[in-house]
Structure 1
Amino acid sequence: MMRNVTTSSSSTRGIAAIVGVGPNLGRSVARKFAHQGYTVAILARDLGRLSRFADEIAREEKAQVYAIRIDCSDTQSVIEAFEGVLSLGFVEVLVYNAYQPIPLQYGGSCNFSDVRLDSFQKSVAVSSVGAFHCAQQVLPGMVERGRGTILFTGCAASLSGGTGLSEICCGKFALRGLSQCLAKEFYPLGVHIAHVIIDGVIGASRVVKVPQRSLVGEQLSIGGDGSMDPDSVAETYWYLHIQPRAAWTQEIDVCPPSPRFS
């Protein structure tokens, strides 16, 4: 199911498809690409909430925004959703930001024997299998045109396992491997594929400004609880998309200032 929210402004660029749009990072990434002149397709399971985000972004950025329902754990849902996305035109940018929340706070503990198989399978499906299907939908068009960007969102669990984190770690480990494999195969064909490690908590608002500049020359904002501002993190996704081909980044770590970097 697809809902179109549009304004009088029309884009001369391709489509930016943002999969896994929630109230923080996904919405900020979608807003950034809309601001830069892209027609944006935002995808998630909750079409009602997604449509509200589309209304907001379209109004603020005077952009064309399409809300499309997707369940990344369901292959047929991914195929149907991207039939709608591809009907809009050439998908120049794919951001895969989907993951399956687990009822466990990071750093907590959980007995492995308590993990349900269906929950484990769904988490792996959303984190990695869904990314596989989404990439397969857009890569043919990118290869045909010799350009395009695919950005996968990872996290600290992409790099290191931990007690009680088998569900998210296995899916995110696989996503990182997928990103590396696709990068090596498609870099020569003009497609930039990168993995973004979000090493910290992304909040909803700016509270504290710190005198540290990001890769794109903007201040990184952190909340009083140490969370990162999603609009600042979204700048990294834009930076990766516009990188010159002669020096593409395959993996980047985004984190708030902390003592371990001092």
Structure 2
Amino acid sequence: MALVIGAGDATGGAIARRFAAGGYTACVTRREADKLLPLVQAIEAAGGRAHGFGSDARKEDEVVALVEQIERDIGPIEVLVFNIGANVPCSILDETARKYFKIWEMACFGGFLNGREVAKRMVARGRGTIVFTGATASLRGAARFAAFAGAKHALRALAQSMARELGPQGIHVAHVVVDGAIDTEFIRSNFPERYALKAQDGILNPEHIAESYWQLHRQPRDAWTFELDLRPYMESW
């Protein structure tokens, strides 16, 4: 069973569809469960199995209950993908403590909560894959992205620590740096010039991102990848 935290309309949904196509039951979450219905229906229409859950990844009690429910009623979690974005640009001069903290909660603290709860089950079984979705901000902090960069840097550090601790126990922990614009409605509506590069393969296709996650999970343990960078060929480093 594959659990995708933050299964939105682009990358998260594509990851869920790919694992479902590979024979896994896809359990997908968003804060509002009704928004998951089209994704669940699409997976089922393609012959896969899927369940949607409304859950706030920042709330410890909800995360604990979610993992317990899935393990009890659906099956063992073999794959966890933490895919919450929280990309909210703002000048450091205008940033509020409340929003800064909320971005950290979504992009990092939620990763800790979900990673910890699933890792407990995986370690007991001696197997499993945990993948954290990173971004350009995981590696460098751009102007107006202080909160997002701080949270994504912290998520990367969490992934590194977990990989070093859990790898010897049979758990593959990986961090994916998605460095570039993704083919989403947000990019199409807000950055039309960037979206126009789609015709030249200049923005990331969510289905192709998902394929990389699938390949990470399928790697033999004598050659595990910790960090994978994904960017269009024309994207500057």
Asked whether the two chains share a fold, i.e. TM above 0.5, the reply is yes
Letter of the aligned partner of 1:132 in structure 2? F
Indicate conservation of the 8 Å contact 1:152/1:196, yes or no. yes
Counterpart amino acid of 2:149? C
Name the structure 1 match of 2:194. none
The answer for unaligned runs of 5 or more in structure 2 is 186-196
Look up the SS of the partner of 1:160 in the other structure.
Answer: coil
Q: Distance in 1 between matches of 2:146 and 2:16?
A: 30
The percent identity for this pair of structures is 35
TM-score when normalising by structure 1? 0.81
Q: Structure 1 or 2: larger helix share?
A: 2
Instruction: Report deviation, 1:83.
Output: 2.5
Contact 1:69 1:81 in 2 (8 A): no
CA distance in 2, matches of 1:238, 1:147: 16
Secondary structure at 2:115's aligned position in 1? helix
Task: Find the counterpart in structure 2 of residue 57 from structure 1.
Answer: 43
Which structure 2 residues correspond to residues 63-78 of structure 1 after superposition, within 5 A?
Answer: 63-78=48-63
Measured in 2, the distance between the counterparts of 1:153 and 1:259 equals 18
Q: TM-score scaled to structure 2, two decimals?
A: 0.90
Where in structure 1 do 4 or more consecutive aligned residues deviate above 6 Å? Answer: none
Q: Unmatched 5+ residue regions in structure 1?
A: 1-14, 105-109, 206-221
Superposition deviation, residue 48 in structure 1: 1.0
Partner of 2:204: 228
Aligned to 2:141: 161
Task: Report the number of matched residues.
Answer: 224
Whether 2:64 is the aligned partner of 1:79: answer: yes
Superposed displacement of residue 80, structure 1: 2.5
Distance in 2 between residues matched to 1:165 and 1:174, nearest whole Å: 14
Distance of 1:85 and 1:126 partners within structure 2: 21
Q: How does 1:117-196 map to 2 (within 5 A)?
A: 117-196=97-176
Deviations 1:25-52 (A, max 9, x none): 0000000000000011001112111122
CA offset digits 1:152-172 (Å, max 9, x no partner): 000000000111101111110
CA-CA distance at 1:259 after TM superposition: 6.5
Aligned counterpart for 2:8 among listed residues 18, 22, 32:
22
**Contact persistence 1:182–1:193 (CA under 8 A):** yes
Q: In structure 2, the residue corresponding to 1:112 is in which secondary structure? A: coil
Task: Indicate the SS of the match to 2:203.
Answer: coil
